């Protein structure tokens, strides 16, 4: 990597599909700990775990949501990616999120753990031919047509904006003589929706308020790109007003997805 690489000349893909990313971040972390002798002198540094990488990306949703980064499902399989011309294997999605605000394009934020080696010295820009052949998307998900169903949201009618997130834990399991895990599990799956509205109905009780809803993402032409169901509990609500403004009610909905216990 002999020069500064321009964002405009990079591409990012997952499982062979190109995404129009506005931000990509790649990092790696090791965990060496000092080994001290009984006289207090340092013998060496020993690893406590494998090198753990992180990949975070923000990309525009220009088609249906990719099923291979679905957090709420049971699929634990790794995803492959290409960033700046370098392959990244062993990507394990651990959280995704997006916001829906009036007239704004919808950007998906995704985070991955990864294991293995990435040849960071080989980052390259696209060739001129790649740039010339780069396809511009015909549409992008937009809040103009997207919505959150309020039929089963007691007392909530006019939603101003909302945020959706899903996350899970990805514990890894290794054989004693290997640096790469033989399994990266998916545990403690959770969904959360925070929303702003003109009203929230009755005040929550000690057990919250049961909620069932579906988020529908559409492009500017009204075509459905994907849906996200949430069935959980409204756990908090607040009301805020400032000088010269209307009162805004805010709430958080939380869902825990039960894990079926399985052997490693």
Tens-place pLDDT, residues 61-98: 888 899 999 999 889 999 999 888 888 988 999 999 99
- Average pLDDT value for residue range 148-157: 84
Say whether pLDDT at 1 is over 60: no
The SS3 of residue 179 is coil
CA distances from 89 to 4, 13, 119, 184, 207 (A): 24, 12, 11, 13, 43
The SS3 of residue 100 is strand
pLDDT at position 96: 97
pLDDT at position 84: 83
Phi, psi (degrees; rounded to nearest 5) at 57 = -145, 140
Does this model's pTM top 0.85? My answer is yes
Q: Tell me the C-alpha distance between 108 and 19, whole Å.
A: 11
Percent with pLDDT over 70 in the chain: 92
Torsion sign (Cα): 226, 159, 110, 73: negative
Residue with token string 């790109």 = 225
Say whether pLDDT at 214 is over 90: yes
Q: Tell me the C-alpha distance between 213 and 197, whole Å.
A: 15
Phi, psi (degrees; rounded to nearest 5) at 133 = -95, 5
């Amino acid at each position: 990597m002999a020069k500064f690489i321009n964002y405009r000349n990079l591409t990012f893909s997952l499982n062979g599909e190109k995404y129009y990313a506005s931000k990509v971040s790649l990092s790696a972390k090791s965990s060496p700990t000092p080994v001290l002798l009984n006289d207090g002198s340092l013998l060496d540094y020993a690893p406590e775990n494998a090198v753990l990488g992180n990949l975070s990306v923000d990309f525009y949703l220009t088609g249906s949501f990719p099923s291979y980064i679905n957090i709420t499902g049971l699929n634990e399989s790794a995803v492959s990616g290409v960033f700046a011309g370098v392959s990244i294997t062993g990507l394990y999605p651990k959280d995704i999120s997006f916001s829906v605000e009036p007239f704004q394009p919808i950007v998906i934020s995704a985070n991955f753990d990864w294991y293995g080696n990435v040849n960071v010295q080989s980052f390259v820009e696209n060739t001129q031919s790649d740039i010339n052949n780069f396809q511009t998307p015909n549409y992008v998900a937009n809040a103009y047509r997207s919505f959150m169903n309020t039929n089963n949201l007691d007392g909530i009618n006019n939603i101003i904006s909302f945020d959706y997130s899903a996350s899970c834990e990805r514990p890894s399991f290794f054989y004693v003589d290997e640096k790469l895990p033989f399994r990266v599990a998916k545990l403690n799956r959770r969904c959360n929706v925070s929303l702003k509205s003109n009203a929230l109905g009755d005040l929550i009780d000690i057990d919250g308020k049961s909620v069932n809803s579906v988020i529908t993402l559409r492009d500017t032409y009204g075509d459905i790109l994907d849906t996200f169901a949430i069935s959980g509990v409204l756990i908090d609500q607040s009301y805020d007003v400032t000088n010269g403004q209307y009162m805004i009610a805010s709430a958080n909905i939380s869902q825990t997805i039960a894990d079926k216990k399985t052997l490693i």
